[in-house]
Amino acid sequence: MRMSQLLLRTLREDPADTDSQGYALLVRAGYVRRLSSGVYTFLPLGLKVLHRVEAIVRRELDRAGMQEMLMPALSPIELWDQSGRSARFGTDALPALTVEGRGGTYVLGPTHEEVVTATVGQEVESYRQLPVTVYQIQSKFRDEARPRYGLVRTKELVMCDAYSFDRNPEGMQVSYERAVAAYLEIFQAVGLNVTPVVAQSGAIGGDVNHEFMVPSVIGEDHFASCGSCGYHANTEAAERQIVGVSPAPSDLPERRSVATPGVATMEEVVAHFAAEGISLKEMVKAIAATNAEGDVVVIAVRGDREVRLPHGWDLVDDEALKAHPGLHKGSIGLVGLNEAGISLVVDHELVARTGPWLCGANAPDSHDEFVVVGRDAIPDAVGSFVVVEAGDACPICANPLELVRSVEAAHTFQLGLQYSTKMTGASFLDEDGTEQPLWMGCYGIGVSRLLGVLAEAHHDDKGLMWPKEVAPFDVHLVTLGANRNPALEEAGDALYSQLLREGFSVLYDDRDGSPGVKFADADLLGVPIRLVLGGKGLERGIVEWRRRRDDTEGEVALSGPFTDLR
């Protein structure tokens, strides 16, 4: 491709809307342009990179035995009614867009579990057709409230989503492991260092799932990582081990209620009891929530920790709280909940260290002192209900955890029977002739998101530095002064043709421009190899080469061959 014919305008300044260096470079280098918040156009160079990434994805998934198909972006809302997910439209968990059209309401697919279940369910009749895994590369649409970091969080994205179908959970596990292995090969090929971490299932569903996290300064997520045993988990799912605590002594004073007029927040409670030297670590933070079944429960954790709600649980707002006379805003506690018909679930630290605790008294303007878990309050359930922090003990080996800021590049799920038992026709006939539901897995990679992640991971202060596997071109050929030297122009054209014959893809800067502008654009665009042909080089019969990633350089004969540059 001759740059004189390429739709390309490079910029010398970062765009005003930038919030990451990688995104700024994609705009400055003419790879993408913002149309509106979270909506982007891929210009010719950007589309070339996108296609290179797609080719790698196809190659690895095909090698893993998956079959490519293409499903419609629009699907009737009735499918989503069957799965039960239409009720969650418009939430952060499922920011779906709907379209009113002739014949009904349609969903612009944020994901395709419903469509693929209905499609494959129609085609698979017998166990002899299983297992089968299909995938597609297609645009997805999500009504993101806060698009950020350019291509990393957008309203429209190109995604590869794959779906496996098996006859039993053992087969689902095999398909899942095969897909995870293929995804790891993809990330290695595109030049990204990923860590699969345990995660929550979110709106997709299923019991077992992993996020593929790329450490990045623009990451919106963190994962807990243990350098000793290899434990990795998203902070939404990470747990910790309780170490160095002991139960309360048996001779503690009896619980007593203390009047605390006008005291509601944790900070106000600490100030009220300042004379007793009580800090947040001696307090219990108790909140009211509804569980996945819609029942109201109280979750209790140590006062200085952040509550981690299980998936599908929601906080009870102030207005709904008024319907429960046993709970009072600013004074929710542990004692007396059973009598009020409210379940108590506590973080396991409150059981390991039973007290004494200071907490709300479940009465207006009142708090309880010297509360002991197991004596004054019996929990209905114990679990991990705090967000893990750096330095917490690893749940496997008890060594300190670290938190790694990261971007989610892919997500895999063992869906099980999440969809097949709800949707019509998602079954098959087993060997004995009985009808059985399909066991499903789901695997997604944000392909267009990867461009943003790659740009953030591979750049310097001069511009982009694409890994050769995804670069828009193999070679950036630059001629200097060719417009004033017909022999040099002829030699540049001949060199361009020779490189193409040797199998290189070439970006040929044949523009009439100064060396400084041409070199700056070459650094900005980030093609792996730069070849420079000038008047002196033509006289000597050599071409200068430079590798973009490490600035190594040298000379090669103008006559070639150039295979050593690969």
Indicate whether 436 and 325 sit together in one domain.
Answer: no
Confidence of residue 317 (pLDDT cuts 50, 70, 90): confident
CATH number assigned to the domain comprising residue 433: 3.30.930.10
- Compute the distance between CA of residue 303 and CA of residue 308 in angstroms, rounded to an integer: 13
Task: Please write the tens of the pLDDT for every residue from 37-82.
Answer: 999 999 999 999 999 999 999 999 999 999 999 999 999 999 999 9
Q: Is residue 81 part of a domain?
A: yes
CA distance 206 to 418: 6
Q: What is the DSSP letter of 251?
A: T
DSSP 173: H
- Rounded CA-CA distance 512/141 in Å is 42
Assess whether pLDDT exceeds 60 at residue 205: no
pLDDT exceeding 70 applies to what percent of the chain? Answer: 99
In 84-168, which residue ranges form alpha helices assigned H by DSSP?
113-123
Q: What is the pLDDT of residue 306?
A: 95
Q: Cα-atom radius of gyration of the chain, to the nearest Å?
A: 30
Same domain for 46 and 138? yes
The residues, any chain, with a CB within 8 Å of residue 236's CB and separated by 6 or more, are 199, 200, 308, 311
Torsion angle of alpha carbons 443, 446, 451, 456, nearest 10°?
-90
Domain range spanning residue 508?
Answer: 475-565
Q: What is the mean pLDDT of residues 550-559?
A: 92
469-503 pLDDT, tens digit each: 999 999 999 999 877 899 999 999 999 999 999 99
Instruction: Specify the DSSP element, H or E, that contains 532.
Output: strand 529-533
What distance in Å separates the CA atoms of residue 395 and residue 480, rounded to the nearest whole number? Answer: 61
* Residue 397 included in any domain: no
Q: Are 288 and 316 in contact (CB under 8 A)?
A: yes
pLDDT band at 213 (very low <50, low <70, confident <90, very high): very high
Residue 254 has pLDDT above 90, yes or no: yes
By DSSP bridging, strand 343-347 and strand 381-383 are: parallel
Task: Give the single-character DSSP code of 170.
Answer: H
For residue 277, the 8-state DSSP code is: T
Q: Of 514, 421, 459, whose CA–CA distance to 206 is shortest? A: 421
Query: Could you tell me if residue 463 is inside a domain?
Result: no
Residue 78 is assigned to a structural domain of this protein: yes
- How are beta strands 402-416 and 208-215 bridged, if at all? antiparallel
Tens of pLDDT, residues 291-304: 888 889 999 999 99
Give the helix ranges, DSSP H, for 199-311: 266-272
What does the CA dihedral 168, 172, 175, 179 come to, rounded to 10 degrees? 170
Q: What is the mean pLDDT of residues 396-407?
A: 95
Same domain for 108 and 29: yes
Contact residues for 352 (Cβ-Cβ < 8 A; gap 6+): 242, 245, 247
Same domain for 76 and 169?
yes
- Strand pairing class (296-302; 343-347): parallel
Is residue 414, in this structure, part of any structural domain at all? no
Amino acid found at 87: A
206 confidence band (pLDDT: 50, 70, 90) = low
Whether 173 and 117 map to the same domain: the answer is yes
pLDDT at 220 over 90: no
Non-local CB neighbours of 514 within 8 Å, separated by 6+ positions? none
- How is residue 283 annotated by DSSP? B
Indicate if 262 and 372 belong to the same structural domain.
yes
Residues 354, 485 within the same domain: no
Name the percent of the chain in helix, strand, coil, to the closest 5: 25, 30, 45
Q: Are residues 291 and 429 in the same domain?
A: no
Domain identity same for 164 and 32: yes
Element (H, E) at 198: strand 195-198
Overall number of domains in the chain: 3
DSSP code string of 312-353: T-EEPPHHHHTT-TT--TT--BSTTTGGGT-EEEEETHHHHS
Burial class (CB in 10 A: 0-12, 13-18, 19+), 332: buried
Residue 86 in tokens: 């239409």
CA quadruple 233, 236, 239, 245: dihedral sign: positive
For the cut 60, the answer to whether the pLDDT of residue 548 exceeds it is: yes
| Partners of residue 430 on adjacent β-strands | none
Average pLDDT on 432-445 reads 96
Distance CA 352, CA 229 (A): 24
What's the confidence (pLDDT) of residue 203?
53
Is 375 found in the same domain as 305? yes
Whether 355 has a pLDDT exceeding 90, the answer reads: no
Q: What is the mean pLDDT of the chain?
A: 92
Q: How does residue 201 score in pLDDT terms, banded at 50, 70 and 90?
A: low
Instruction: Answer whether residue 204 shows pLDDT above 70.
Output: no
Q: Which residues pair with 234 in a beta bridge?
A: 223
Residue 403 lies in a domain: no
358 shares its domain with 505 = no
Give strand pairing partners of 261: none
SS3 301: strand
Shared domain check, 169 and 31: yes
Q: Give the C-alpha separation, 439 to 169, whole Å.
A: 6
CA dist., res. 377 & res. 369, Å (int): 13
Three-class secondary structure of residue 461 per DSSP: coil
**Can you give the CATH number for the domain in which 521 is found?**
3.40.50.800
Assigned domain for 467 exists = no
